[in-house]
Structure 1
Amino acid sequence: MNTNTLYLGLALITGALIPIQAATNAVFSKSTGSPLIASVAVFVIGLVAMLVMAVLMRAPAPSFQQLRSVPWYGYAGGIIVATYVVMITILVPRIGVGAAIALIVTGQIIAAVIIDHFGLFNVTVRSLDISRISGIVLMIAGIYFVMKK
């Protein structure tokens, strides 16, 4: 198996974990009565897991200078993932796992195409073309079918 195939497989498996997380977060939220408490628990558990992995993999701690060199938007990921975890925990019991994930993934695709097109956040430019527009249209059609009763 070549490295590219391995990475594609890992991406697919990771993607499959997202609706599982959404469903388990919703269960935690229902049990505790609070999507915010459920989200905090997810982050505490995640922090412990990441600290254990960092120690086991002997990841070197960055210097203060390295941390200062990170662009401001490099730190936005924490706020973004916190927003995602809270929102998915709120949305799943109300609109279902399928609809929530379909809408979120479509939002991701639209944002990704915009980021690529304009080269935002210092990424390589990949211009908008009919193929990418078609992909977005198909994603929107997919939302319709996933949400259709």
Structure 2
Amino acid sequence: MTHPALIMLAAGFGIPVLAALNGSLGRIIGSPAAAALILFCVALATTAVVLLVVGPGALKDVTAAPKHLFAGGLFVAFYVLSVTYIAPSFGVGNAVFFVLIGQLISSALIDHFGLFGNRVTAFDLTRATGIAVMAIGVWITQRAA
């Protein structure tokens, strides 16, 4: 089995690639919203194939899940739409840097409070320093642009 850190590293690698590909698609076809829709259709088909391989029975308990947990789809749609619209003009690097800062802050809050049933990991000086260093890095890259 592949180590979880390697899988997440690959997922992180894919975020700027997604931004660049979808931003270019939106520019070429003249509609970032249409590019986002195409992305979601491809993602839906891919996810359906994976679900069929691992076992479609996993959907049997979906109605028992708290409804607020489905809001994750709204966040994915917001991310894809915003990066598809903004990355081509703002720059993929700039867009992803700000996304990353938002992810660091949000994940620190989710972990600190154990939101949505996640494991509690206290927000401490080390985490605060890491977020601050990242923010400084973004500020430096913005000044260079």
The TM-score, its normalising length taken from structure 1, stands at 0.89
Matched, 1:67 2:62: yes
Q: Give the drift of 1:68.
A: 2.4
For residues 65-105 of structure 1, the C-alpha deviation after alignment (integer angstroms, 9 at most, x for no partner) is x2222122210111110110000001101210111000001
In structure 2, what is the Cα distance between the partners aligned to 1:111 and 1:33? 33
Alignment match of 2:34 (pick from 18, 26, 37): 37
Q: Which residue of 1 aligns with 2:124?
A: 129
Matched, 1:15 2:12: yes
Q: Give the drift of 1:59.
A: 3.3
Q: How big is the alpha-carbon RMSD for the aligned residues of Structure 1 and Structure 2?
A: 1.5
Question: How do 1:62-141 residues align onto structure 2 when only pairs under 5 Å count?
Answer: 62-63=59-60, 66-141=61-136
Q: Runs of 4+ in structure 1 displaced over 6 angstroms?
A: none
Instruction: State the identity %.
Output: 33
Q: Which residue of 1 aligns with 2:53?
A: 56
Q: Give the drift of 1:112.
A: 0.7
Q: Give the drift of 1:31.
A: 1.1
Please, which runs of 5 or more residues in structure 2 have no aligned partner? none
Number of residue pairs matched? 144
The TM-score, its normalising length taken from structure 2, stands at 0.92
